[in-house]
Amino acid sequence: MRYLTAGESHGPQLTTIIEGLPSLLPITSEKINYDLKRRQGGHGRGRRMQIETDTVEIVGGVRHGQTLGSPVALIVKNDDWKHWTKIMGADPLPDDVDPNEIKRQISRPRPGHADLVGGIKYGHRDLRNVLERSSARETTVRVAVGSVAKALLNELGISIVSHVTEIAGIKADTTKIEGKSTKEIREIVEQDPCYCVDEEASAKMVEMIDETKKAGDSIGGVVEVIVEGLPAGIGSYVHYDRKLDGRLAQAMLSINAFKGVEFGIGFEMARRKGSEVHDEILWDEEKGYTRRTNRLGGLEGGMSTGMPIVVRGVMKPIPTLYKPLQSIDIETKEPFKASVERSDSCAVPAASIVAENVIAWEIASVIVDQFHSDQLPQLKAQIDEMRKVAKEF
């Protein structure tokens, strides 16, 4: 299962084509739009979210609410395109128009962004050609893709949720959700402005975000994704590129501005002895094999253990600042303050939604690769059989 996306931040639309979905999978634009709206929310978002109201159009591969087995095509139109038609149009410029006179050209790269290195790699003197694609706007359709993946996981009895665990050093008390299901966690998170499970910490996060915005700066944080219901044995130990944790790590780090990933208790493992890290194995007739703890985050040897998958990603502060850092103008080579594009002071809550959806896609993709998946009923039967085998082993 795979997908490709196309489109620029201020172009006419964002497009994705998904290949490999089983047939007979129920999909509606309503459910996808719900996730798109969540991505646009969260305290700290900038003016772009007031301009755009993202909605998806399903333009291929679905008939009467079910997938056909053929590629699924989705588009999300950019409402702001009407203001950028001359600047971002695809047609060649008329002979009487000087390319150097096109508005909104950029020659001052932002530190921490793809501007300079992208310009060097692809030979763009106008760095807008880089930032238009490297922008996190592209994650809009990745969330749409992930929403489709979640529809598949839901049919297989697998659920997923994300939440913010930290912003600018303010940490949530995650013990408050110990023992809670993904459904119960979602009910808490969706009522919170920072998508956080700790109301007291969230209030401090809101205050910090507001102070940072006034100062013209930006802040980052940490998000956590939890996956429940995944049977044991998804992934593989036999090759590096089939290890489930490796694929999930790559997915998390593919999100704009994400710079670190950990599973279970993560980097805390470096400070503990082995007896305080590994999860003891238990068995009973009702549940089969379980673990006394889940410090490894539901993963052993590149495979799922049947315990919840717990993965966290760290997001750096957004590099577009309203008090920009020093840069160099690539045309004059003189020092200048970097260019300023419309931006968020904190996108961590929104990024948690992106993380949830890219992890959902990767889980679904691994499952489709591992089992016969032309039709949804066949796939469901195989997952049920996998659960039975694991329990009776």
Is 135 known to sit in a ligand binding site? yes
HSE-up of residue 330 (Cα within 13 Å, Cβ side): 19
Is 316 known to sit in a ligand binding site? yes
- Distance CA(393)–CA(322), nearest Å, equals 59
Is 45 known to sit in a ligand binding site? yes
Is 39 known to sit in a ligand binding site? yes
Is 242 known to sit in a ligand binding site? no
Is 383 known to sit in a ligand binding site? no
Is 110 known to sit in a ligand binding site? no
Length of the chain: 393
Is 364 known to sit in a ligand binding site? no
Is 318 known to sit in a ligand binding site? yes
Q: What one-character-per-residue DSSP string does 135-187 give?
A: SGGGHHHHHHHHHHHHHHHHHTT-EEEEEEEEETTEE--GGGGTT--HHHHHH
Is 38 known to sit in a ligand binding site? no
Q: What one-character-per-residue DSSP string does 184-249 give?
A: HHHHHHTTSTTSBS-HHHHHHHHHHHHHHHHTT----EEEEEEEE-PPTT-B-SSSGGG-HHHHHH
- Distance CA(43)–CA(192), nearest Å, equals 9
Closest by alpha carbon to 150, among 62, 27, 330, 273?
27
- Phi, psi (rounded to 5 degrees) for 368: -60, -35
Buried b (16+ CB within 10 A) or exposed e, 324-345: beebeebeeeeeeebbebebbb
HSE-up of residue 270 (Cα within 13 Å, Cβ side): 4
The dihedral region occupied by 144, where left means phi > 0, alpha psi between -120 and 50, and beta the remainder, is alpha
Is 320 known to sit in a ligand binding site? yes
First and final CA of the chain: distance in angstroms?
Answer: 29
| Cβ contact 82:11 at 8 Å | no
Closest by alpha carbon to 168, among 128, 126, 201?
201
Please state the residue numbers annotated as binding site.
39, 45, 133-135, 256-257, 301, 316-320, 342
Binding site for NADP(+): what residues are annotated? 39, 45
Going by the annotation, the residues of the binding site for FMN are: 133-135, 256-257, 301, 316-320, 342
